[in-house]
């Protein structure tokens, strides 16, 4: 298993599945996502992650957003807009990253982002040429 705070992701039954399935609010999509979660060996860790990080959307650990417990209160954030990683920072972070380890795990090891934002950030990394698609997953490019 990969080291790091999100190591459970490498064992997830949904790994390689289109994330859109887990964010579609249609009852049939929610049921399909929950079916995937039902056979997942890291379901509890996934649900705990969603609660701890305050994921507001999607099915995590077999629980839809309205089924998850309220996340613990967070300290008040600093005033101003939410922090965002610049293209230069993103490039520097991923240019020498491990090409055999998922880019999502490596990004989240360095900066906290909600999962949906992390995927959007990785789409920027694809455009920057430091992340590539391999099958349905995203990995740092091989140099």
Whether residue 92 is found in the same domain as residue 132: yes
In a domain, 132, yes or no: yes
Residues of the chain with pLDDT under 50: 1-4, 80-81
- Sign of the CA dihedral running 96, 10, 5, 68: positive
CA distances from 124 to 93, 99, 119, 121 (A): 13, 17, 9, 5
pLDDT computed for residue 36 by the predictor? 94
Structure confidence at residue 112 (pLDDT) = 83
Amino acid 69: pLDDT:
86
Angstrom distance (rounded) from CA 33 to CA 112: 24
What's the total number of domains in the chain? 2
Question: Which pLDDT value is given to residue 8?
Answer: 85
Q: Note whether 47 and 98 are same-domain residues.
A: no
The answer to whether position 20 is within a domain reads: yes
pLDDT at 6: 67
Start-to-end CA span in the chain (Å): 24
User: Do the beta carbons of residue 121 and residue 107 sit within 8 Å?
Assistant: yes
- pLDDT score, position 55: 85
Residue 53 lies in a domain: yes
* Closest CA relative to residue 90, chosen from 71, 106, 68: 106
User: What pTM does this model have?
Assistant: 0.52
Contact assessment for residue 11 and residue 1, using Cβ atoms and an 8 Å cutoff: yes
**Domain housing 121:** 87-140
């Amino acid at each position: 298993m990969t080291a790091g705070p999100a190591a459970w992701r490498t064992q997830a039954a949904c790994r390689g599945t289109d994330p859109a399935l887990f964010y579609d609010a249609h009852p049939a999509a929610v049921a399909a996502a929950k079916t995937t979660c039902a056979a997942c060996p890291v379901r509890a860790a996934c649900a705990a992650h969603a609660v701890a990080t305050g994921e507001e959307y999607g099915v995590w650990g077999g629980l839809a957003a309205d089924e998850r417990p309220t996340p613990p209160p967070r300290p008040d954030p600093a005033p101003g807009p939410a922090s965002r990683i610049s293209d230069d920072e993103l490039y520097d972070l991923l240019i020498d990253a491990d090409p055999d380890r998922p880019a999502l795990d490596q990004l989240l090891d360095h900066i906290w982002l909600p999962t949906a934002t992390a995927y959007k950030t990785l789409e920027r990394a694809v455009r920057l040429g430091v992340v590539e698609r391999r099958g349905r997953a995203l990995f740092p490019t091989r140099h």
